Structure 1
């Protein structure tokens, strides 16, 4: 009996110790589980906040994209419209039959002469009665007006390029590449057209050099038109994709 009693006591002690160890293990495990749950909750909140920020950033990016792309195309299309006027408008003012006073008034009103250009005004007043001088004066005011138009247009293109540089990060690689192609063609066009202005107005004999320049000028002009049209298609496609991606994000 004593032996059985002793054995029973030993078993009880062992069970007690095992139960305490098991209880301690459960408590420790519960603590670890609770900590794990807390970490999961924190990570979940962080991921939720991150996702909300990404959604917000995407929404801002999409909004900015919808603002920038039309503005970029507007700049390019407006420049093309002005370039077409420069390319096609070589009209001479019809003032040959007018008196010096009337011709001068008409040339100023039409923008061929600045009202402050005393040198040109003096030349017209003093030389207008001579037919040969009259023809030379008309050619001169036309050439000067054309150069001023191109100079002003060049300044506008520079401003347009500065805008492009400020928003380039919002543009896709395809759009940026296409814009650089258009910029390059426009720059080359302006270099060429300045070389043929005098010959256009003074009726110089056409030689091989001027013929080659005219041909190259026409090629760049057509290239600008074609590439601007392609840019329009690329922008439409990009904006459509942006709208589609937002629909997916909203659905999800």
Structure 2
């Protein structure tokens, strides 16, 4: 009888000890799991903040580059409007122009000769030189801007990516059309087309500004663009 009582008491004591030990380890595991969750959450919040800050920075740079490129395109496509101004160049203004720009000597000689013989052709020659140099500068800027929008796709939403795509396509089309101006049989039609494209470009830039502002103000971080380069 005594053996049975001892066995029962011992069994009860053992069970209590096991339960206490189990609770101890369970508590430790829960605490460890909570710490892991907290660490993971803090890491994700930190990563998100880094991404958020970088997204703000990238959007500002994308908009700045596209906007500046637009302005340069407008300037180069408005060069034809300065034609009459070149005709009225004084000899000093002509000398200053030739000294400031990288003009081939053969072109300098021809322009100086035309100054005395035919100012209309002189103005046309100056127009061609300025247009040629400016066009190459703007084309380089356009390509650089397009490359930047491609390199930052990971930060762009689908809407922003779509607008960037339309803007860069529009910029390329404007320069392509304007490049045909000199040889175009209908110069007015060419310039009208350029003007229409410029108006569309202004609208797209405003759409991009609104889209970026909306996203950054509400913290939009949905699926980023998958556009290829």
TM range (shorter): 0.7 to 0.9
Aligned runs of 1:123-202 on 2, under 5 Å?
123-131=110-118, 134-199=119-184
Determine whether 1:68 maps to 2:58. Answer: yes
Are 1:226 and 2:206 matched, yes or no?
no
Counterparts in 2 of 1:61 and 1:124: CA distance versus 1, 3 Å? same
In the alignment, structure 2 segments of 5+ residues that lack a partner are: 221-229
Q: Equivalent residue of 2:179, what SS?
A: helix
Confirm or deny: 8 A CA contact 1:146 1:197 kept in the other structure.
no
Unaligned residue ranges in structure 1 (runs of 5+): 1-8, 200-204, 244-252
Query: Deviation of residue 216 (structure 1)?
Result: 3.6
C-alpha change, 1:61 and 1:72, in structure 2 (3 Å) is same
Q: Distance in 2 between matches of 1:64 and 1:98?
A: 50
Task: Pick the structure with greater CA Rg.
Answer: 1
- Per-residue CA deviation, residues 86-130 of structure 1 (Å, 9 max, x unaligned), is 23332126454667x546314326x6x52x520111212344432
**TM-fit CA distance, 1:56:** 1.3
Partners of 1:127 and 1:87 lie apart in 2 by 25
Are 2:79 and 2:131, in contact at CA under 8 Å, matched by a contact in 1? no
User: Counterpart in 2 of 1:239?
Assistant: 216
Please name the residue that 1:15 is paired with.
5
Q: CA RMSD in A?
A: 2.5
SS in 2 for 1:129: helix
SS in 2 for 1:92: helix
1:217 and 2:191 aligned: no
Change (3 A) 1:61 1:138: same
Q: Which residue of 2 aligns with 1:107?
A: 97
Q: If the length of structure 2 is used for normalisation, what is the TM-score?
A: 0.83
Q: What residue is the counterpart of 1:118 in the other structure? A: 105
Report the count of equivalent residues. 219
